[in-house]
Amino acid sequence: SAVDTGGPTIFDKIIAKEIPSDIVYEDDKVLAFRDINPQAPVHILIIPKLRDDLTQLAKAEARHGEILGQLLYASKIVADKEGIAEGFRVVINNGPDACQSVYHLHLHVLGGRQMKWPPG
C-alpha cells in the first residue's frame, strides 16, 4: 500500500494538465475531476490546487481551515452539477488503514446509486 512521502503525486500532473482528466468543476483553489476507477455512477475527486503539506487529512492544521471549507463546499457544487444533490456521499480516506492511495488530500463525491452503510 502507498505511503506518505510528502513528494509529488499524480494529482500534480492532473492540476498542471500534463495528463488528461475529465474536469467537472474548477476554480482558483480547487479542481474536481472524474475518478479513473469509479465506484459509483458518479464518482468525482475534489482536490486543492495548492497541496501545501495537506498530503492527508491527518496533517491538517488550523491554517488549512479555509481550503478545507472550500473543498467541502465544492462537493455541494459538484453534486448539484451532477444531479445527485438529493443523495450523495463525501469520503476522505486517511492513511493506510483507510486505503488512501494518493497522498494529496482529496474528497471523493459518490452518488447515482443507493449507497450502503456501514461502508465496510
Residues involved in catalysis: 106
Sites for ligand 5GP among residues 18-47 (CB under 6 A): 21, 33-37, 45
From the number of C-beta atoms within 10 Å of its C-beta (0-12, 13-18, 19+), residue 120 rates as exposed
Among 27, 76, 101, 113, binds ligand 5GP (CB under 6 A): 101
- Tell me whether residue 63 or residue 116 sits nearer to ligand 5GP (CB atom): 116
Return the closest-CA partner of residue 57 out of 14, 108, 117, 120.
108
Q: Are 104 and 11 in contact (CB under 8 A)?
A: yes
Residue 94 touching ligand 5GP (CB under 6 A): no
Interacting residue ranges for ligand 5GP, rule: CB under 6 A: 10, 21, 33-37, 45, 93, 99-102
